[in-house]
Amino acid sequence: MRALVKMRRRWREARMFTKAMASADHPILAQIIPIRRCNLACTYCNEFDKDSPPVPVSEMLRRIDRLGELGTSIITFSGGEPTLHPQLDTLIRRVRDNGAIATIITNGYLLVPERIKRLNAAGLDYLQISIDNVQPDDASKKSLRVLDRKLQWLAEYADFDITINSVLGSAIRKPEDAYQIAARARELGFQSTVGILHDDSGQLSPLSETQSSVYEQILGLGKGLFSFTHHDAFQGNIVRALPNQWHCPAGGRFLYICEDGLVHYCSQRRGYPGIPLEHYTREDLMREGAKPKGCAPFCTISCVHQTAMLDEFRTRPREALAGIIERRKERDASWKPPLPVRSLEWMFLRDSRVRDVFGTIALRLFRVAPPERQVRGSSRYSTE
Ligand code: SF4
Ligand code: SF4
């Protein structure tokens, strides 16, 4: 049963990818806040409060439907702590009814077997938990020691995919904990990622030598697509405190919807553009997505970078893929691309006729409308 659910999910992901490649006129990812309140109080966090009520379910459903009308591919619930919303299951179901991929970012504290089974039944696709340390400290209680039982329950009961994010940055006292957390995630069969903590404005704090070395060790845990995705230029530049040259597509390909229903660029650029979602149009998407953002060179918000990479792949597939493969090989000469990468390499780097034929087949197979217009949206990654 679990295998079947996963197979269907891979099919929907392939559809999302095809749609993202076909046109730039819809959001790839929207992060939406069902509740600002959190049951923890991490000292580095500026995204929670202690007392606000959940957004009424009728309002949330309207917002999810509006994101569906805009053609949003992935809708992520974050917060605050989204599992504090009493009708989160209903919200997840509505995301799926709109044909989008449903994901949540949680601190995991409220996960018990019964809740995990309810999330399965609602149709959740992905869950991400960020774990900051092994033992709780003053800065954060998102700790492996506290959460390990929850992780075991997830391994046992969850039908959805799970990613454990460990973090490095100035607020994390013991950088070596990140390796232990990533290793535990891999042991339980989860994906693991490592994030670099941003400051209050989403910007970079340079990593120390020890932190960089832990980062390299975590990369070494991955053998397949994991290490491939994590060795993108964006993370590499951030670790070395080098600026990224890229176009941030926030406001277009990525949206952040706050508890008041306003569209913002991201969690760290609230107030821009600050337009109510119900009035946000395709013209707004195209205009705001295309605007240059002065905060881009040292931005650490990885989910926005990931949407930008999809756009890079859409506008310059050959260069994007060749660059990624080249960087990976520079790091490890014996590296052999995993099957999905080999397929992309064959399609995009060997023969443009093959690419065209496969592109047409994919559009038909996934019932994605062919592109009506090609919009500029290139996002190039390099160091200055
Ligand atoms: S658990 Fe998440 S939302 Fe809550 S305080 Fe910590 S980082 Fe912020
Ligand atoms: S570059 Fe984009 S994602 Fe990063 S902080 Fe600025 S607006 Fe947010």
Interval 293-303: pLDDT, tens: 999 998 888 89
Report the separation in Å between the CA atom of 347 and the middle of ligand 1, taken as the mean of its atom positions.
42
Residues 92 and 162: their CA atoms lie apart, in Å, by 16
Neighbours of 379 (CB within 10 A): 25
**Beta strands at 262-264 and 273-276: parallel, antiparallel or unpaired:** antiparallel
Pocket test for ligand 1, best of 31, 39, 42, 106 (most atoms within 8 A of CB): 42
Q: Which residue has the higher pLDDT, 356 or 101?
A: 101
Q: Which residue has the higher pLDDT, 1 or 11?
A: 11
The confidence score (pLDDT) of residue 127 equals: 98
256 pLDDT band, cuts 50/70/90, is very high
Confidence check: pLDDT of 110 > 80: yes
Q: Are 136 and 171 in contact (CB under 8 A)?
A: no
Name which of 89-103, 172-186, 201-215 the model is least confident about.
201-215
Confidence check: pLDDT of 286 > 60: yes
| CATH number for the domain running over 2-317 | 3.20.20.70
Residue-wise pLDDT for 12-48, tens only, equals: 988 888 888 888 889 999 999 999 999 999 998 999 9
- For ligand 1, whether the C-beta of 319 sits within 6 Å is no
Residues 349 and 57: their CA atoms lie apart, in Å, by 47
Mean predicted lDDT score pLDDT of the chain: 85
331 pLDDT band, cuts 50/70/90, is low
52 CB burial (10 A radius; 0-12, 13-18, 19+): middle
1 pLDDT band, cuts 50/70/90, is confident
Residue-wise pLDDT for 71-94, tens only, equals: 999 999 999 999 999 999 999 999
Residue-wise pLDDT for 191-234, tens only, equals: 988 888 766 665 566 778 888 888 888 877 764 443 444 446 77
The confidence score (pLDDT) of residue 309 equals: 85
- For ligand 1, whether the C-beta of 35 sits within 6 Å is no
Pocket test for ligand 2, best of 268, 298, 307 (most atoms within 8 A of CB): 268
